[in-house]
């Protein structure tokens, strides 16, 4: 996941948005939602946070409690379209949203991270009349689990309700596809996939049949989930199965990830410095090995088996520590490494370190909220199922659900005049993934995945020239 690039956004009516909480996620949301032309107001109890963000972005700021009726009235809740609560407290976020929906006529989104609440998301959302409840740690754990299922991949995105995956990998020097065109690779393969992006020298392109792939390129392709592993193998990317995983840090993301891996039969070892948290994890995850110790202790890592473990995931709360742990793991073993990073300072330095798979929880959160905001702004009856940013924000992958008749439906794709920099990469029809040709048509009820170098598409017809 990457930060959004600054490009023009289609002309849509701006939303009136209130965000409560100016932490890492709140800062990212202010950046992305305001850059797309929405009118954003931030509420926070810290005057320094309000000052810093309002000086950095063209937004309003209110100092106070986001659950206060008077503060919400002063901030303009009566005219608000979208209310987002992303403070550090789950209970406060839920309370803020409850007050907002009772006082104003707005859609409300709450960030909720506690495992107990996560098991009751559907109940809470329905009973509190919320548009969305999002859990960054759970979403990050799910993304890491997908990567570990395909350890040769740098990134694995899920689309079509899990029926399709967008897989990113780096072409090795000895790769059999290096020096070949996309068309040649397609003709020589029996697998079902479609190349979607090529990243070379920090520049992203959407390939066509004549595009020549080179060693060092970071390439993405889309395929049905059941073919993902065989597609990678067919492209000369060996994809062994992970049998065990070492996790450094025992926070919420570690718990969610460990639970998923254990369910898949993968052995899990967690190293956590806080003894009380180790006791909690031992009860929550009886099948996992919980080690109380300093995850940055080289001797402890060696004793725990870092040299032979199949996967190594750094999930501490300190970005610098996660990065150093990953670099150490790569230096002493051939393990698959995944690094959690929360901030974007020195992004170019992070990219140059070749950390392998890097997961940004707050970007996962902001992309889900951004998708909802764009759909809410759109003039048509449209719905964005999934939104992802690829290639350092140079490319967007947007999955639209076609609910009604439009200029896109029932017309062969070859007769549609699409904008440059747009690819219709698949049509999902009742769970069947179709890689379209010029003769295929989009029907009402289909979902389509659009890969584009444009920014801000909020409805399907935005792809038309």
Average pLDDT over the chain, rounded to whole? 90
Q: Could you report how far apart the first and last alpha carbons of the chain are, in Å?
A: 28
Confidence of residue 273 (pLDDT cuts 50, 70, 90): very high
Q: Between 24-35 and 47-56, two packed helices, what is the crossing angle to 10 degrees?
A: 30
Model confidence at 98: pLDDT above 90:
yes
Average pLDDT score over residue span 50-67? 94
pLDDT single digits (tens) 377-428: 765 455 788 888 888 788 999 999 888 888 999 999 999 999 999 999 999 9
387, 361 contact by CB (below 8 A): no
Least confident of 83-92, 275-284, 303-312, 380-389: 380-389
Model confidence at 8: pLDDT above 50:
no
* pLDDT at site 6: 40
- Tokens representing 287 are 């099948």
Model confidence at 457: pLDDT above 70:
yes
Residues 6+ apart with CB under 8 A from 432: none
* pLDDT at site 380: 47
* pLDDT at site 363: 84
pLDDT single digits (tens) 210-238: 999 999 999 999 999 999 999 999 999 98
Helices (H), 114-206: 115-118, 121-127, 136-149, 182-187
Average pLDDT score over residue span 77-97? 95
* pLDDT at site 10: 55
Fold classified for 140-234: Alpha-Beta Plaits (3.30.70)
Range list of β-strands (E), 287-437? 289-292, 311-314, 336-340, 357-359, 382-390, 395-402, 422-429, 432-434
Residue 370 host element (H or E)? helix 361-377
**The listed CATH number (3.40.50.720, 3.40.630.30, 3.30.930.10, 3.55.10.10) that belongs to domain 244-359:** 3.40.50.720
pLDDT single digits (tens) 20-41: 999 988 999 999 899 888 999 9
Average pLDDT score over residue span 62-87? 94
Residues 6+ apart with CB under 8 A from 69: 99, 103
* pLDDT at site 202: 83
Model confidence at 299: pLDDT above 90:
yes
Average pLDDT score over residue span 230-255? 94
Average pLDDT score over residue span 63-80? 94
Model confidence at 3: pLDDT above 70:
no
Q: Write down the domain spans for the chain.
A: 16-134, 140-234, 244-359, 382-463
> 382-463 — its CATH code?
3.30.70.1450
> 16-134 — its CATH code?
3.40.50.720
241, 129 contact by CB (below 8 A): no
As a whole number of angstroms, the distance between CA 276 and CA 125 comes to 32
């Amino acid at each position: 996941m990457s930060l959004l690039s600054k490009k023009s956004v289609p002309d849509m009516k701006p939303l009136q948005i209130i965000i409560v909480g100016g932490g890492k996620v709140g800062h990212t949301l202010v950046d992305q939602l305001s850059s797309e032309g929405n009118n954003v107001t931030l509420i926070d109890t810290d005057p320094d946070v309000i000052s810093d963000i309002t000086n950095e972005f063209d937004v309003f700021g209110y100092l106070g409690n986001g659950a206060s009726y008077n503060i919400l009235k002063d901030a303009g809740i009566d005219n608000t379209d979208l209310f987002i609560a992303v403070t550090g407290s789950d209970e406060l976020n839920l309370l803020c949203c409850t007050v907002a929906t009772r006082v104003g006529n707005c859609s409300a989104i709450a960030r909720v991270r506690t495992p107990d609440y996560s098991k009751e998301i559907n109940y809470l959302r329905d009973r509190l009349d919320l548009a969305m409840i999002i859990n960054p740690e759970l979403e990050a754990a799910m993304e890491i689990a997908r990567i570990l299922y395909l350890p040769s991949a740098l990134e694995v995105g899920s689309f079509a309700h899990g029926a399709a995956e967008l897989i990113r990998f780096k072409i090795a020097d000895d790769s059999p596809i290096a020096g070949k065109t996309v068309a040649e690779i397609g003709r020589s393969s029996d697998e079902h996939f479609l190349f979607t992006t090529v990243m070379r020298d920090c520049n992203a392109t959407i390939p066509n049949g004549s595009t020549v792939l080179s060693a060092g390129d970071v390439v993405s392709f889309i395929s049905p989930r059941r073919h993902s592993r065989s597609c990678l193998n067919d492209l000369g990317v060996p994809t062994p199965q992970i049998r065990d995983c070492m996790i450094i840090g025992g926070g919420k993301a570690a718990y969610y990830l460990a639970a998923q891996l254990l369910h898949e039969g993968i052995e899990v070892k967690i190293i956590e410095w806080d003894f009380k948290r180790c006791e909690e994890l031992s009860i929550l995850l009886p099948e996992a090995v919980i080690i109380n110790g300093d995850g940055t202790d080289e001797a402890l890592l060696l004793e725990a088996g870092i040299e032979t473990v199949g996967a190594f995931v750094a999930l501490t709360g300190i970005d610098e520590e996660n990065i150093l742990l990953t670099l150490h793991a790569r230096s002493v073993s051939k393990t698959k490494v995944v690094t959690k990073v929360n901030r974007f300072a020195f992004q170019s330095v992070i990219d140059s370190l070749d950390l392998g798979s890097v997961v940004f929880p707050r970007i996962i959160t902001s992309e889900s909220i951004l998708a909802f905001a764009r759909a809410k702004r759109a003039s048509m009856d449209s719905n964005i199922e999934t939104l992802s940013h690829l290639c350092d924000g140079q490319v967007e992958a947007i999955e639209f659900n076609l609910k009604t008749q439009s200029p896109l439906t029932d017309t062969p794709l070859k007769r549609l005049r699409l904008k440059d920099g747009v690819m219709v990469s698949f049509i999902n029809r009742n769970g069947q993934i179709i890689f379209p040709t010029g003769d295929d048509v989009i029907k009402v009820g289909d979902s389509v995945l659009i890969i584009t170098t444009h920014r801000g598409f909020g409805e399907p017809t935005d792809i038309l020239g």
